């Protein structure tokens, strides 16, 4: 009796799991399909599942926007901004995790609260600053801004991973004369490597998908793939197929990267939970 019940529960779980996965995957699948349609097929009602695939959207995309240049900007901005954020966040998280005061909590919450602010609220001030220091449309400015805007999240994640490390280990190291930077480098970082890796991965993905700053402070030199996608929407004529092709080409690198790293990501996100 209980065996069949268990079986039934297992089946139900599998069905629900598949259903959720399919619902989440469907938009991506539909986008990938539309990327290989002609504009007329992409706009057809009822929607077409079977059609003659074409590569013309990709050809037009590479002709009209420099894909490689935008992709390179995306790669460099997302990786360097992540390194930048990690370098700033690691010492901060270390201090707050092991030398906390009674204000630590308030500081942490304040950092997080900054992320609640809509980016558009600071667009004009930041734009004015960039105009006066002549850094508009540079990957440098974009990297710094994205790195700083991901900083609170990175600090929070590192803080929670560092907290998992027993402070006795660090104490022992201090007894042996290890200074804070040495502790960080030889103890904390190796001990929490999976956590740091998943933090970095999340920060890279966030930076890769960032579109607000990319659209608003870059133009022809420092534009990332987000800016390239934005150039395919159109108010006079059909654009779904071209937009899908551009989106597919933009998410493909990060999708592949995420797929390769998924073991790290899952391990990092559940890190400590089994201790």
Angle among Cα 46, 47, 49 to the nearest 5 degrees reads 130
Token pair 């991973």 in the structure block, residue: 161
d(CA 58, CA 172): 59
Q: Is 135 in the site for other proteins (CB under 8 A)?
A: yes
- Enumerate residues 148-177 that contact other proteins by CB under 8 A: none
Contact between residue 207 and residue 201 where contact means Cβ atoms under 8 Å apart: no
| 19, 131, 169, 255: residue in contact with other proteins (rule CB under 8 A) | 131
- Binding residues for other proteins, total number by CB under 8 A: 40
Tell the smallest beta-carbon distance from residue 128 to other proteins (Å).
5
Could you say which DSSP state residue 51 is in? -
Asked if 156 and 111 count as a contact pair (C-beta separation under 8 A), the reply is: yes
CB closer to other proteins out of 80 and 248: 80
Which listed range, 12-20, 98-106, 124-132, 148-156, lies at the site for other proteins (CB under 8 A)? 124-132
215 sits near other proteins (criterion: CB under 8 A): yes
Distance in angstroms between the alpha carbons of the first and the last residue of the chain: 35
Q: Candidates 51, 67, 216, 269: give the one binding other proteins (CB under 8 A).
A: 216
Tokens of 80: 């360097």
Choose, by CB under 8 A, the member of 10, 13, 64, 105 that binds other proteins.
64
Cis peptide before 209 (omega within 30 of 0): no
Site string for other proteins, 238-257 (x = CB under 8 A): xx------------------
> Number of helices and strands (H, E) in the chain?
15, 0
Q: Taking the complex as a whole, how short is the minimal distance between the CB of residue 8 and other proteins, in angstroms?
A: 40
Binding residue for other proteins, selected from 5, 102, 237, 273, defined by CB under 8 A: 237
Token pair, residue 129, equals 């600053």
The residue among 66 and 258 lying less far from other proteins, judged by its C-beta, is 66
DSSP result, 154-172: HHHHHHHHHHTS-HHHHHH
Using rule CB under 8 A, residue 230 touches other proteins: yes
Binding site for other proteins (CB under 8 A): 39-40, 43-45, 64-65, 80, 83-84, 87, 123-124, 127-128, 131, 134-140, 215-216, 219-221, 223, 227, 230-239
């Amino acid at each position: 009796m209980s065996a069949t019940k268990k079986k039934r529960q297992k089946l139900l779980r599998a069905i629900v799991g598949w259903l959720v996965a399919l619902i989440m995957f469907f938009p991506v699948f539909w986008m990938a399909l539309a990327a290989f349609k002609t504009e007329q097929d992409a706009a057809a009602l009822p929607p077409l599942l079977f059609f003659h695939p074409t590569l013309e959207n990709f050809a037009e995309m590479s002709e009209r926007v420099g894909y490689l240049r935008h992709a390179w900007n995306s790669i460099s901005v997302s990786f360097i901004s992540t390194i930048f954020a990690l370098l700033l966040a690691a010492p901060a998280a270390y201090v707050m995790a092991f030398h906390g005061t009674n204000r630590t909590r308030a500081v942490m919450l304040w950092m997080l609260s900054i992320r609640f602010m809509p980016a558009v609220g600071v667009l004009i001030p930041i734009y004015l600053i960039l105009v006066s220091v002549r850094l508009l449309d540079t990957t440098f400015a974009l990297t710094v801004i994205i790195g700083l805007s991901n900083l609170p999240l990175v600090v929070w994640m590192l803080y929670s991973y560092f907290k998992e490390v027993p402070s006795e280990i660090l104490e022992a190291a201090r007894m042996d004369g290890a200074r804070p930077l040495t502790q960080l480098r030889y103890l904390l970082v190796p001990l929490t490597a999976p956590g740091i890796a998943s933090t970095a991965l999340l920060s890279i993905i966030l930076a890769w998908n960032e579109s607000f700053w990319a659209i608003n402070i870059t133009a022809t030199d420092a534009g990332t793939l987000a800016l390239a996608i934005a150039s395919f929407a159109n108010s006079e004529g059909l654009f779904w197929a071209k937009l899908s092709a551009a989106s597919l080409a933009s998410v493909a690198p990060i999708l592949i990267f995420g797929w390769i790293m998924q073991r790290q990501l899952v391990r990092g996100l559940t890190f400590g939970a089994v201790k």
